[in-house]
Amino acid sequence: MKGIFDVSYAIESIPAIAKGIPVSLSIAVIAFSAGILIGLCGALIKIYNIPVLKQITAVYISFMRGTPLLVQIMLSYFGIPIVLRAVNAEFGTAMDISFIPAIYYIYVAFALNAGAYLTETIRAAILSIDRGQLEASYSVGMTTYQSMKRIILPQALKVGLPNIGNHFIAMLKDTSLAFAASVPEIMGLAKIVGGRTSRILEAYIVAALLYWVICIGLERLMALLEKRLRRNERGVQNDRN
């Protein structure tokens, strides 16, 4: 059995592969945070039917949801430097593209990908809130911005939290594709560690277990957050009664 799977090597490789955890988490957190902002803007554009921007948003969502994330990573990794070189040539700027870390291109690809999916999630959550609450806020002199910030969005967050949490967990798992752009996240380090001794199976199993443990932790965290929000909501309803 040792010839097929070396348990001791798998255990020894855990620290080296686990060094990719902060990189994977940083990609997920930073890109997802940017994706939420993109998704919120896209949702509001679609809800309020803003001319031109609505059509642009529709094309953006269709493209990002209709193409593989790996392709989007490659477009970002190779395309952005080409665009920046063209800008240098056209305007005589001197941006040093060679010193831009590859992870920045990953942030862009993942943020745009998350934004496309979150646009529909956030839009559905906002539309689920009774429009009468928005009209009531107008009646007491609130602006649309104040109504959204104080009344609609907090309630929409409670409605959309399960789906948003699932999107985040899915994005964390998708960070395994970042190794295609030479970013040393969990999967990238597993490939390097396994390649040194040809113990690829052990390295990939360790990577899988690390992703699994992290996702279990995130699922528990999301469940606790949902439970706390429900408890707070029940507390507010009891106070009203």
Instruction: DSSP for 33-87, please give it.
Output: HHHHHHHHHHHHHHHTT-TTHHHHHHHHHHHHHHS-HHHHHHHHHHHHHHHHHHH
pLDDT per residue as tens digits for the range 24-79: 999 999 999 999 999 999 999 999 999 999 999 999 999 999 999 999 999 999 99
Q: Is this structure's pTM higher than 0.95?
A: no
Burial class (CB in 10 A: 0-12, 13-18, 19+), 152: buried
| Mean local confidence (pLDDT), 15-21 | 96
Q: How far apart are CA 178 and CA 27, in angstroms?
A: 9
| Cβ-based neighbours of 118, under 8 Å, separated by 6 or more | 35, 36, 38, 39, 40, 42, 43, 164, 167
Tokens of 196: 């040194």
Backbone angles phi, psi at 185, to 5 degrees: -90, -165
Q: Which residue has the higher pLDDT, 24 or 4?
A: 24
If you average pLDDT over every residue of the chain, what do you get? 91
Is a pLDDT exceeding 90 seen at residue 236?
no
Highest averaged pLDDT of the listed ranges 91-95, 175-179, 224-228:
175-179
What average pLDDT does range 85-113 have in this prediction?
91
pLDDT score at 172: 96
**Cα–Cα distance for residue pair 180/203, rounded to 1 Å:** 17
pLDDT of residue 234: 59
Angstrom CA distances, 22 to 116, 172, 213, 214, stand at 25, 11, 14, 11
% of the chain beyond a pLDDT of 70: 95
Mind listing the domains of the chain with CATH numbers?
7-240 (1.10.3720.10)
**Closest C-alpha among 189, 186, 207, 203 to residue 9:** 203
Q: Evaluate whether 210 touches 18 at the Cβ level (below 8 Å).
A: yes
